Amino acid sequence: MILYEYPFNERIRTYLRLEQLFRRLGELIPRSHALDHHFALSTIFEIMEVGARSDLKTDILKDIEKQKQLLESYRGNPAISEKALDVVLGQLERCFTALNVQTGRTGQLLMDNDWLMTLRSRMGIPGGTSDFDLPSYHAWQCTEPSVRQKALQEWTATLAPLAESIYLLMQLLRDTGVPQKMMALQGNFLQNLPQGRNFQLMRLALDRASGLVPEISGNRLRVSVRMLQWQPDGQSLQPSTEDASFELSLCA
């Protein structure tokens, strides 16, 4: 199955982008090639760009508080494990504390590093990190992989509280969704959302073998899915007119 996710608001859209970037960063840093570490640095700068919103930290702290209050309300429920509840509440508390003590925007400490900021500005120019443009960067890329990895780990340490908070909030949000079998008749699906619930994320799973790609649109009132079919050339998509089954989860 191929899983697609669609956010219903700008806050969750930002969380998803940051989550994707942090996962990419986690894949790149352990590798040893200088090119992998080049793209790790590029990813760090992307995280700083996406996380530059002044209200991002406030939104995350509010969401952590909401989750804490929600989970506390489950105390005494015989269907809920108190031990598991304490573990998650402990994680939320640690994320809240670590993020709350940080000051300034995302990556503020990295902005004080003149070398990194020079590199960031040059990466915005096609081919701007050539050795004749940035000999110091070329020298850094020629150091031992362990030296580069150590530097990257130190730079990303300042971003760790944000990453851990995003991972935890998205996990808790996804856990609220229950997959249901749905059918796109003649390639189209439209559903009104239940009233009284503030859905934030839609998850759609399609059979990989179907060759279909969902075109999703939606808001707090309804969702619409149009199935597109890869053409034989493998380079273009056309609307499908065949019935297609898929799994749908709505997360609140």
List Cα–Cα distances, 187 to 5, 145, 221, in angstroms: 18, 49, 21
pLDDT in tens, the chain (252 residues): 999 999 999 999 999 999 999 999 999 999 999 999 999 999 999 999 999 888 899 999 999 999 999 999 988 888 888 899 999 999 999 999 999 999 888 888 899 999 999 999 999 899 999 999 999 999 999 999 999 999 999 999 999 999 999 999 999 999 999 999 999 999 999 999 988 788 999 999 999 999 999 999 988 889 999 999 998 887 899 999 999 999 999 999
Whose CA is closest to 179, among 213, 204, 201, 199?
Answer: 204
- CA–CA gap between residue 53 and residue 98 (Å, rounded): 19
What is the tally of helices (H) and strands (E) in the chain? 9, 8
> What pTM was estimated for this model as a whole?
0.93
pLDDT reported for residue 88: 95
What pLDDT is recorded for position 100?
94
User: Which DSSP category does 9 fall into?
Assistant: S
Per-residue pLDDT, 104: 81
Which pLDDT score, from 0 to 100, does residue 99 have?
94
Q: Pairing relation of β-strands 222-230 and 237-239?
A: antiparallel
Those residues with Cβ within 8 angstroms of residue 198's Cβ, 6 or more apart along the chain or in another chain: 220, 252
Give residue 167's pLDDT. Answer: 98
**Residues spanned by CATH 1.10.3900.10 within the chain?**
9-172
Domain range 178-251, CATH architecture? Sandwich (2.60)
How confident is the model at residue 40, as a pLDDT? Answer: 98
CATH 2.60.440.10 residue ranges for the chain: 178-251
Q: What pLDDT score was predicted for residue 235?
A: 83
Q: Give the DSSP per-residue string, 75-130.
A: TT-TTS-HHHHHHHHHHHHHHHHHHHT--SSTTHHHHT-HHHHHHHHHHTSTTTT-
Look at residue 92 in the predicted model and tell me its pLDDT. 97
Q: How many CB atoms lie within 10 A of CB 235?
A: 7
Distances (CA, A) of 208 to 187, 214, 242: 16, 12, 16
Q: Which of 104, 92, 108 is nearest to 167 (CA)?
A: 92
Return the CATH architecture of domain 9-172. Orthogonal Bundle (1.10)
The neighbouring-strand residues paired with 227 are 214
Specify the 3-state DSSP secondary structure of 22. Answer: helix
